[in-house]
A and B are shown apart, each in its own frame.
Chain A
């Protein structure tokens, strides 16, 4: 039974909430707006900039001046590739831990989580020198491998919490009805596991896309994803606001859209099931 809310109160809350929401969103909004104006107009004062004519020149410029599509491709390969690889390794593990739990399962899960707590600088030097020695610096292969390992604990954990929710009785029921092991997996378990796997995948693509320690350390150009590409705008090119805005907008747009679908999974994945 919801309490009755007066319309005046609702209107006041609406104004405040929209105000604060827009304020928080403003830096992103401003970047997008700026990307559609000419370079010369972008550095004028904010009102003049808004009044200036719209232009798509910055987008074209980013494409021609720097190899944007290469870095976009790298980002896709690294984030999607590492996520799929992690899923292949993690699905059997999470499956076994959820359906055939042993005495050690809990300790094992906690241990996996603890690897995530290790600060990256603790292993930066051996990784850097090792990659240099075997020629993996600035390669997509190297980055995919590192990202897979970084996100593996989260992937196992998320899948585990989803698989755990699949009721075991349904398997027994299927068996009673004479389902073979093959059809049991194919027609009973898979359909119930797919949503969990999809959410896990979504969150991990987002995390890998935005990862900005290893991508900055281990790549320079050839394998550089968008994080590194944007970092190269740090100076002095960063003073070209319209171009920086266009590059930034293109770098964040895909993940912003994916992110809107993943609010629930975000809480689950990043708190390891501690908040539901």
Chain B
């Protein structure tokens, strides 16, 4: 039904979005790529010129890089484990009939709407602070020594904070998926004498697989660039104990003024994210015509 005329109009309507996104993606990315191959340090303006791969070499062989890579993986895997397992359990619970379902759902979803700087600071000061935090008060009440979470196990503390923020997301998506489960199929299986466990394994889990994949992929994209939580709690420390790739690039470029080195780090981060993005895109693309 589309005429030549309407096709042209359609192209015109799509053009602004495409042009803007293209510029937004390409211009800064190419600039970063360019910076990553030159000597560019704001503290040392004399040093200029082509750097080849030395920025990359410098960034990747930096001891902090190995630690940051490991920390990034630990945060992604740790948070995914907590949120996916916790999310499945919570979604199953929320799907059962009980009084006050609406209110409890609101409680469970709420952390997702708290801005990252607020949740990080609330956890840092009101809960994990070794002197006046809630956990310290509880430890003292039980006659134990208060534990300084953020300096003793900074990475684990950050994982807990970030997991708290993302648990609602996983729960909400898994719950949505659970609600589209065919109840007649469940009943039929029950009548045929299938136990709760085998119904769960053979009906519920296969139905949820798709939603679980979506949760894992989308969260990974966001978790790779966790920043604010580290920025306001540990500043990447003590030392580099809680520095991630994202945070390392920030330190390198905006705190150490090494634009070249920071840019090389940025490109490394882009490559890492692209590996994940490849799978996300395939997943969503497959669903597009379905």
Chain A residues at the B interface, C-beta cutoff of 8 Å: 1-3, 5, 10-11, 13-14, 16-18, 20-22, 24-25, 27-28, 30-31, 34, 43, 45-46, 89-90, 92-93, 95-97, 99-100, 102, 106, 108-110, 112-130, 149, 152-153, 156, 206, 209-210, 212-213, 216-217, 226-228, 230-231, 233-234, 238-239, 241, 244-245, 248, 251-252, 255-256, 258-260, 263, 266-267, 270-276
Contact = CB atoms under 8 A, between A and B. Distances in A.
Interface string B161-190: 000100111001100110010010001000
Contact of B109 (A27, A255, A263): A263
Contacts of A226: 115
B240 to A, nearest CB: 16
A261 to B, nearest CB: 11
28 contacts: A1-B187, A10-B99, A17-B101, A20-B108, A21-B108, A24-B108, A31-B126, A92-B16, A99-B10, A100-B7, A100-B10, A115-B24, A117-B280, A119-B224, A119-B273, A122-B32, A125-B32, A125-B35, A125-B262, A128-B254, A152-B17, A233-B121, A245-B126, A271-B218, A273-B287, A275-B176, A275-B177, A276-B176
A230 B117 contact: yes
A153 B21 contact: yes
A242 B118 CA distance: 14
Interface in B91-106: 93-94, 96-101, 103-106
A247 B124 CA distance: 15
B201 interface: no
Contact of B104 (A17, A117, A256): A17
Interface SS of A by simple majority: helix
B31 interface: yes
Given A17-B93, A100-B7, A122-B270, A110 B281 contact: yes
Contacts of B110: 24-25, 28, 256, 259
Given A92-B16, A106-B288, A125-B266, A112 B21 contact: yes
Nearest to B273: A119
Interface of B: 2, 6-7, 9-11, 13-14, 16-18, 20-21, 24-25, 27-29, 31-32, 35, 90, 93-94, 96-101, 103-119, 121-127, 132, 134, 137, 140-141, 164, 167-169, 172-173, 176-177, 180, 183, 187, 210-211, 214, 218, 221, 224-225, 227-228, 231-232, 245-246, 249-250, 253-254, 259, 262-263, 265-267, 269-270, 272-274, 276-277, 280-281, 283-285, 287-289
A231 B97 contact: no
A210 B117 CA distance: 9
Given A24-B107, A114-B281, A125 B263 contact: yes
B125 A126 contact: no
B227 A238 contact: no
Contacts of A275: 173, 176-177, 210-211, 214
Nearest to B124: A238
Contacts of A210: 113-116
